[in-house]
Structure 1
Amino acid sequence: MRWLKALIVAAAITVPAAANVITFETAPTGVFTGPITESGFTYELGIGNIVVNTPGHPGQDLEAVSDGGGVLIIRRADGGLFQFDSVDFAAYNRPGTGTQDLIVAGGIGGGFIGFDVFTLANTADQPYSNWTTETALGLHGILVDTLLVLLGGGTDSEPYNSAIDNVTLTPDVPEPASLALLAGGLVLLRRRRRI
């Protein structure tokens, strides 16, 4: 019975979920395929071309280069749910014209339920000198089991690159009220067995 009281007390304590950040520091530099597990999440190449690089940003980042870029797939290592919070995004075009989009799509059970599109003007001054932190909008507060990140990259005749870093994700944790309901159900179940 003591364990049950301890469970009820634990359920009453509010513990906020801690955000996890994927920095791509553990991925080997060069052409990226994956899968790599970092900060409780696994990420890998879906389709296209992505490289692990270090231009214009502390540490390593993921960069889409030629042939239309690539798609990064992110999942929790334990298969659980999570929400997308933010990502660092940069765009670079040698001529320095136009804009680029970063698309982040979230899904659950094989279907997609929301997405965010971030648009950034290219820079020609220095590769990736326009890093910005983009915060979830359409995906804000939505739990997913899969995140697709679409990075654009141009051809040799029209070169443009985009890069991401510091993908911030929050794992889903049971709310204290849910734990309290579970504890209450266990108490009732134990009492019924005694009767």
Structure 2
Amino acid sequence: MKSLLLKGANWIILIGLALTCYGIYEAVTQRNISASPEAIDISSLVNYEGELKYVTITGGRLDLANTYEYTREKKGKVRSRDFYSPILGKDDKPVYIMQFENEPTMEMAFTEAKFTGLLKESSGLPSDILDAYTAEFSGTDYFMLQTDFTYKTMGERLKLIGIFFAMFIIGIVIRKALTRSSRNTQQETEA
């Protein structure tokens, strides 16, 4: 029983540490993102330098013919599905790749694109999707718009980091208590 509790404490430490580190990384990389989306036109993305921005992009059209589905599975069960579609500029080259949670509709292809999300470099795309678009649109620079982005204040981020750090500390305390009691028992039996 003790070894099982010790293994559980080790897992709590590992998960708490990993989530704390990820929370700090996310807080640092997204520290300059504003609470309200910045309205920009698709033509202004020519000057985009790759920094993370919360934006509403207008202009361009959705290319349904090059929409890819990306499915995450675990043990044969679908955990999540995303759809990736390029938004084409006036020269019919992709300017950015949209991430949709639901399959894009035909109606979306015939209206001017207007989408809100976190704009970032195309390296944020899953590798399979990035390879497919690189093969399809070689020599074109494009970006990714993550539509499922939810803005969090620094206070909300710190609160989550604190919860994960507390989990890490609890794991250490449990481990210390379990290992200390075994040392005390060994000393008592030797005396």
Structure with greater helix percent: 2
Larger Rg belongs to: 2
Q: Per the shorter chain, which TM-score range?
A: under 0.3
User: So what's the TM-score if we normalise by structure 1?
Assistant: 0.24
User: So what's the TM-score if we normalise by structure 2?
Assistant: 0.25
